[in-house]
Amino acid sequence: MSMQSHMLRCTGCAQRIAGEAARSDFRCPDCGDLYEVEYPWSESASGTTAKDVPVNRPNPFALRHLWQERRTSTLAVDQSGVWRFRDLLPIVADDQAITLREGNTPLYELPKSAAALGMNWLLAKHQGMNPTGSFKDTGMTAALSVAVSRGFEWVACASTGNTSAAMAAYAARAGLRSMVLIPEGKIAWGKLSQSMDYGSMTVQLRTDFDGCVRVLTELVRRAPIYLLNSVNPYRLEGQKTPAFEMLEQTDWQVPHHVIVPGGNLANCAALGKGFAEMKHLGFISRVPKISVIQAEGANPLYRAMQANGGESLEPVVAETRASAIQIGNPASWRKTVRILKANGGWCEQVNEREIALAKAEIGAEGIGCEPASAVTLAGLKKLVAAGHVGREETAVLLLTGHTLKDPEYTIQYHRGQLFNEAELAAATPGELNQHKAFQKAPLVLDANVDDVLRALDAIAATAGQTA
Ligand code: F0G
């Protein structure tokens, strides 16, 4: 695929550059905003191509068929749930795609959570079912393939743990060297172990995520290292594909709402781009509302929307146990504000107790997710209570990470050790009972059957009382 297959368009001042011409930090030299990938058929490109150059507009009917057909192919690019949509992300040649067969993730029903909310239909798109256990794989396969095609030997990212795990894995597959910058003591063990396992140079900096980003931005200015944070617009090309998949999985019935967690705020922008492209090309006739949920202790977008409708954003010092979204100065906030405005979604915040309860509820559906993903259900409860999401409407929660990413959190929760005294004091008795109903701390017993049977009887008796 030739590099002229796309341009980078500044989302701030609309200036266009060739893909190779981007600065190392992927910021527009004129206005400082971020780029997005633009194709000749993109809505924003209409009127920019010479009149006598025909634009090959993708055909929805042919593509829907082709994308399904590829699922049965034995080719790696066809088996990938990102690259089987490559007609709409022609950023590298087919044989340059570095893939771990990412994507093709399940869309589950959440019947218990739906019933608790009085909703007819609640779904979860589980992006934690990707090769490295998070949604980052879909973006990483895209941007890392570009790094290879551009001849880089080193790639790097700053991360709260999932991006680093994904980058390390894809770099290993491609034979590239990789460096991850992570905030010391602030990422979950599962994620830290992954970057080492995949052979990355793992650097723990004595700072937070936002501090890691500052160091990395300077680093890529001084050394020939390809930046793989989500300011890299190619990441979003991969991360838009779950929108396509979700539509396939609902038989092209557009859900009313998609709910995503908000950290660095690229994922909302990516999905928004995906849905907008589907509408522009005629696959669907309307787009879903996309709402972003932040943790109360890491809520710069929520504050900005409340204070000034997203005109400006004040960074915060972020603090939440949902470590994946412990981000105070999100890079892609402007892109996400545009999606919220274009699609008509909301930004909500949820506290630590609400996150933990929602995570337990998703776990009790037999699905499980990491804490940052559970903000979606916690936020949905607020959106329903506020009347923003109707009980007869369809909502899809984007579960971004696998429960095994952060088992320490889950164990502490079930042992009743997660919350501090102030949090417990702030909880109502009703809320504490809700937590108790979910908490399943492990029993330690002597190794004899009578003891186990007695424990079973005790559990059956309490179940009887609550039934
Ligand atoms: N959920 C999980 C599990 C994440 O790892 C992240 C971001 C998000 C949600 C938020 O997505 O940043 O696009 O708004 N994790 C990044 C990382 C920052 O380094 O792994 P976002």
- Distance, in Å, from the CA atom of 167 to the CA atom of 176, rounded to the nearest integer, reads 10
Within-domain flag for 6? no
Q: How far, CA to CA in Å, does 292 sit from each of 153, 161, 442, 456?
A: 35, 20, 34, 42
> In 22-151, where do the E strands start and end?
35-38, 107-109, 121-126
Amino acid 56: pLDDT:
83
CB of residue 162 inside a 6 A radius of ligand 1: yes
Give how many domains the chain has, as a whole number.
1
Distance from the alpha carbon of residue 397 to the mean position of ligand 1, in angstroms = 15
CB of residue 155 inside a 6 A radius of ligand 1: no
Within-domain flag for 302? yes
Distance from the alpha carbon of residue 382 to the mean position of ligand 1, in angstroms = 21
State the pairing for strand pair 289-295/347-350: parallel
Amino acid 230: pLDDT:
97
Q: What strands lie across the sheet with 16-17, from one edge to the other?
A: 16-17, 7-10, 35-38
Within-domain flag for 147? no
| Ligand 1 atom, smallest distance to 292 CA | 14
Q: Are 164 and 198 in contact (CB under 8 A)?
A: no
Amino acid 467: pLDDT:
46
- Distance, in Å, from the CA atom of 143 to the CA atom of 176, rounded to the nearest integer, reads 13
Distance from the alpha carbon of residue 446 to the mean position of ligand 1, in angstroms = 42
| H/E run at residue 343 | helix 333-343
Give the bridge partners for 179, in sequence order.
156, 201
Amino acid 54: pLDDT:
72
Length of the chain in residues, anyone?
Answer: 467
Q: Which of 159, 205, 325 to mutate to test the pocket of ligand 1 (most atoms within 8 A of CB)?
A: 325
Coil vs helix vs strand at 401: strand
| Ligand 1 atom, smallest distance to 163 CA | 20
Q: How far, CA to CA in Å, does 38 sit from each of 154, 238, 241, 265, 422?
A: 26, 14, 15, 20, 49
Amino acid 52: pLDDT:
66
Amino acid 1: pLDDT:
45
Distance from the alpha carbon of residue 410 to the mean position of ligand 1, in angstroms = 19
| Tokens, residue 396 | 């899809």
| Ligand 1 atom, smallest distance to 264 CA | 12
- In this structure, the number of other CB atoms found within 10 A of the CB of residue 31 comes to 13
User: pTM to 2 decimals?
Assistant: 0.97
The CA-based diameter of the chain, rounded to the nearest angstrom, is 85
Within-domain flag for 377? yes
| Ligand 1 atom, smallest distance to 373 CA | 1
48 contacts: CB under 8 Å, gap ≥ 6: 16
- In single-letter form, the type of residue at position 92 comes to V
| Ligand 1 atom, smallest distance to 327 CA | 18
CATH of the domain at 302: 3.40.50.1100
CB of residue 370 inside a 6 A radius of ligand 1: yes
State the pairing for strand pair 121-126/107-109: antiparallel
Q: Which residue has the tokens 């570009």?
A: 146
| Ligand 1 atom, smallest distance to 128 CA | 3
Within-domain flag for 301? yes
- Distance, in Å, from the CA atom of 245 to the CA atom of 288, rounded to the nearest integer, reads 14
Within-domain flag for 92? no
Distance from the alpha carbon of residue 97 to the mean position of ligand 1, in angstroms = 23
CB of residue 267 inside a 6 A radius of ligand 1: yes
- In single-letter form, the type of residue at position 305 comes to M
Within-domain flag for 393? yes
- In single-letter form, the type of residue at position 425 comes to A
Within-domain flag for 220? no
Torsion of CA 210, 216, 217, 221, to 10 degrees: 170
- Distance, in Å, from the CA atom of 24 to the CA atom of 241, rounded to the nearest integer, reads 25
CA neighbor of 326 nearest in space, from 165, 214, 162, 168: 162
pLDDT in tens, the chain (467 residues): 444 689 999 999 999 999 999 999 999 999 999 999 999 999 999 877 666 667 789 999 999 999 999 999 999 999 999 999 999 999 999 999 999 999 999 999 999 999 999 999 999 999 999 999 999 999 999 999 999 999 999 999 999 999 999 999 999 999 999 999 999 999 999 999 999 999 999 999 999 999 999 999 999 999 999 999 999 999 999 999 999 999 999 999 999 999 999 999 999 999 999 999 999 999 999 999 999 999 999 999 999 999 999 999 999 999 999 999 999 999 999 999 999 999 999 999 999 999 999 999 999 999 999 999 999 999 999 999 999 999 999 999 999 999 999 999 999 999 999 999 999 999 999 999 999 999 999 999 999 999 999 999 998 888 766 54
Distance from the alpha carbon of residue 317 to the mean position of ligand 1, in angstroms = 17
Q: Based on the number of CB atoms within 10 Å of its own CB, is 2 exposed (0-12), middle (13-18) or buried (19 or more)?
A: exposed
CB of residue 328 inside a 6 A radius of ligand 1: no
Residue 323: give the domain boundaries: 107-133+234-412
- Distance, in Å, from the CA atom of 181 to the CA atom of 217, rounded to the nearest integer, reads 11
